[in-house]
Amino acid sequence: MSSIFELEKPVFGRENSSVELVAASDADTTLTAAESVNSLVVMTPTGAKTVTTATAAAIIAEIGSGVRIGTTFSITLRNQAASTHAMTLAGGTGVTLDSDNTNTAAAAATRSFLGRVTAYASGSEAITVYSGVTSAH
């Protein structure tokens, strides 16, 4: 009889990895692949700003050879603005934000996102990002 590990081929993510702290300037920002995986992006925007992930191909290459469909990673946006100005997450090429998402971190709030690999074959890499919990600070 096969074990469940042989049948399911589970995906074990990088849960024990450190979080990449990205101190973003007060500007629209495109993250590198390393900054897009298990990252905390901190910004004090003076106007509405967009934070764009790296491409799906670059993120999948960053995750490495253990990547599978279902591999996940986190991105957290921390908005240090006292009032008014939002940070919005956008996807690079091949990165889709789920249609039910709230993709913004309002002023004085933090919002978490979970990225999930949906295809990893070379040339057709794809990731879907889901919004998660938001909290005021």
If you write DSSP's letter for every residue of 27-76 in order, what string do you get? Answer: S-EE--HHHHSSEEEEE--SS-EEEE---HHHHHHHH-TT--TT-EEEEE
Is the predicted pLDDT of residue 12 greater than 90, yes or no?
no
Residue-by-residue DSSP string for 102-137: --EE-TTEEEEEEEEEEE-STT--EEEEEEEEEEE-
Is residue 16 predicted with pLDDT exceeding 80?
A: no
Query: Domain spans of the chain?
Result: 19-136
Q: Pick the residue with more confidence: 75 or 15?
A: 75
Selecting from 2.60.120, 3.30.450, 1.10.3470, 2.40.128, what CATH number does the domain 19-136 have? 2.60.120
Look up the pTM and report it: 0.85
| % of the chain residues with pLDDT over 90 | 75
Once rounded to an integer, what is the mean pLDDT over residues 76-102?
95
For CA atoms 84, 47, 23, 67, the dihedral sign is positive
Torsion, CA 21, CA 133, CA 33, CA 31, rounded to 10: -70
